[in-house]
Amino acid sequence: MNKVLLSTSTAFLIAAGSASSFANCEIIDADLDKKISENQQLRAEYNASLLRDARSLRDAAGTLTAYGKEDACAAVSEAIREMVENPKAAAAAKAGVTGEEVVVATKSADDRRASAVSVSKMTSRIRAEEIIGTDVFGAKGDTVGEVADIVFGANGQPTYAVVSYGGFLGVAEDQAAIPFKLLKVSSDKEAFFVDMTEEELEKAPRFETGRYDWIEDEAWRTKNEQYFAPKN
CATH of the domain at 226: 2.30.30.240
Please tell me whether residues 55 and 161 are part of one structural domain.
Answer: no
Same domain, 130 and 223: yes
Mean local confidence (pLDDT), 74-95: 89
Name the residue type at position 75.
A
- pLDDT at position 91, please? 84
- Which of 106, 135, 160 is the endpoint of a domain? 106
What average pLDDT does range 44-69 have in this prediction?
88
Residue 92 within any structural domain of the chain: yes
Domain termination residue (choose one: 76, 106, 136) = 106
Residues 164 and 79 in one domain: no
**DSSP secondary structure of 30-52:** HHHHHHHHH-HHHHTTS-HHHHH
Average pLDDT of the chain is: 81
Query: Distance (Å, rounded) from C-alpha 128 to C-alpha 92?
Result: 24
Question: What are the CA-CA distances from residue 82 to residues 40, 57, 224 (Å)?
Answer: 20, 12, 39
- Whether residue 170 contacts residue 20, with contact meaning beta carbons closer than 8 Å, is answered with yes
Q: Does some domain include residue 5?
A: no
Position 13 pLDDT exceeds 50: no
pLDDT interval class at 71 (50, 70, 90): very high
Same domain, 147 and 180: yes
At residue 8, the pLDDT reads 53
On the question of pLDDT at 19 being above 50, the answer is no
Its domain, for residue 202, covers 107-232
- Do 173 and 214 lie in one domain? The reply is yes
Say if residue 82's pLDDT is above 50. yes
Cβ proximity of 119 and 184 under 8 Å: yes
Average pLDDT, integer, range 187-205: 88
SS3 content of the chain, % helix, strand, coil (to 5): 40, 15, 40
Residue 29's φ and ψ, nearest 5 degrees, are -55, 130
Helix (H) or strand (E) holding 160: strand 158-164
Domain count, the chain: 2
Q: Are residues 227 and 119 in the same domain?
A: yes
Of all residues in the chain, what percent carry a pLDDT higher than 70? 82
Q: How far apart are the C-alpha atoms of 156 and 150, rounded to whole Å?
A: 11
Q: Check pLDDT > 90 for residue 172.
A: no
pLDDT more than 90, % of the chain: 29
Residue 187 lies in a domain: yes
- Is pLDDT at 160 greater than 60 in this prediction? yes
Backbone angles phi, psi at 38, to 5 degrees: -90, -10
Residue 17: pLDDT above 70? no
Question: 73 in a domain, yes or no?
Answer: yes
Of residues 59 and 23, more confidence is placed in 59
Inform me whether the pLDDT recorded for 49 exceeds 80.
yes
Number of CB atoms found within 10 A of residue 124's CB: 7
Q: Of 106, 134, 159, at which residue does a domain stop?
A: 106
For position 22, what pLDDT does the model report? 61
